[in-house]
Structure 1
Amino acid sequence: MTTSTSSAVHTSHPAFIPSQQFAANTQQLLVDLTDLHLQGKQAHWNVVGKNFRDLHLQLDEIVDSARDFTDELAERMRALYITPDARSATVAEDTSLAPFPATEVDTATTVDLIVAALYTVAKTARDIHDAVDAEDPTTADLLHEIITRLEQLAWMVDAENRVANQSRPAQLNV
């Protein structure tokens, strides 16, 4: 049996070629989504205290959303001939998220930390939105989905630490 290899060069002609800034913007969001997934699992494994079980389950929901969005964004990047990089060293170096503790964390503190992480990633998506939309409205549609879901999750988790008509959401440093 012989194996033949083609000497022809494959050349594709995509309808849209993103700029370097577009690639950098989507890469930053990929990094932040990846770190959100990792921080969510860290919190999931180490949260303790009142309302543990509900928060434990909410964290899985956050992790699943972050993981799904990471995959969708990375595949969108590949469809546009951008090489995504979510290696651990890249994520550690480039993330916009504050570090999550390596110890057990009380439920109330976990809520505040995860809400801050969710809003940080949503802010990244909002910060890059207009530039992405100017080049590719299709990718901006994905950003809309990400922002909508992350802000919904942040609201739901943040409600854990609120008292009706007596407290406001904490000011977050994002």
Structure 2
Amino acid sequence: MSTVRSSLSDENRETTAKALQGALVDLIDLSLIGKQAHWNVYGKNFRSLHLQLDEIVVSARNATDLVAERAIAIGVSADGRAATVAETSSVPKIHDGQISDNEVVSLFIEAYTAIIANMRERIEVTESADPVTQDLLIGVTAELEKQSWMFQAELG
């Protein structure tokens, strides 16, 4: 039971909580694969990707905090445990070991495509359930789409 009272109806709070939890695990996983790729990328574009991946991690972690704090503000728990992320994330998995610069670009295009599709669904379901959460998700999605565009631009 939460000690935080919300002005949302139980149904709207449940809808919003589900959207926020999905966003939370995807963003946590994005930051984790960003770091994994950052440590293991190699190739002619190593330096630029190495730096770009750090930017992605910072952005994802900042968005994660916003999403988790919104969940708490409406009276639900944020679950960012490793097991929860591993079981529920929609982010494509990254293999262990070194990963070429071209593989990194392809992986992140695929990851952003999946995350953005899910975020747009979350935006839609929160439209009437909680416009405040919808606005937050729109802002996060705008940043994800910008990062996606930057990876796509690398393919020339």
TM-score, normalised with respect to structure 2? 0.92
Structure 2 stretches of 5 or more lacking a match? Answer: none
Q: Distance in 2 between matches of 1:74 and 1:96?
A: 17
Task: Confirm whether residue 145 of structure 1 aligns to residue 139 of structure 2.
Answer: yes
Could you tell me which residue of structure 1 aligns to residue 42 of structure 2?
48
Say if 1:105 and 1:135 are closer, same or farther in 2 by CA, change over 3 A.
same
What is the aligned-residue RMSD (CA, Å)? Answer: 1.4
Q: 1:132 aligns with which of 126, 131, 151?
A: 126
Could you tell me which residue of structure 2 aligns to residue 111 of structure 1?
105
Secondary structure at the counterpart of residue 115 of structure 2: helix
Percent identity, aligned pairs only, is: 43
The answer as to whether partners of 2:119 and 2:141 remain within 8 angstroms in 1 is yes
Could you tell me which residue of structure 1 aligns to residue 61 of structure 2?
67
Rg larger in structure: 1
Secondary structure at the counterpart of residue 127 of structure 2: helix
Number of matched pairs: 152
The Cα of 1:13 is off from its aligned counterpart by: 4.4
Q: Distance in 2 between matches of 1:19 and 1:144?
A: 18
Q: 1:14 aligns with which of 6, 12, 35?
A: 6
Secondary structure at the counterpart of residue 118 of structure 2: helix
The answer as to whether partners of 1:40 and 1:62 remain within 8 angstroms in 2 is yes
Runs of 4+ off more than 4 Å: none
Q: Distance in 2 between matches of 1:36 and 1:59?
A: 10
The answer as to whether partners of 1:122 and 1:146 remain within 8 angstroms in 2 is no
Q: Distance in 1 between matches of 2:117 and 2:57?
A: 18
The Cα of 1:21 is off from its aligned counterpart by: 2.6
Q: Distance in 1 between matches of 2:93 and 2:74?
A: 31
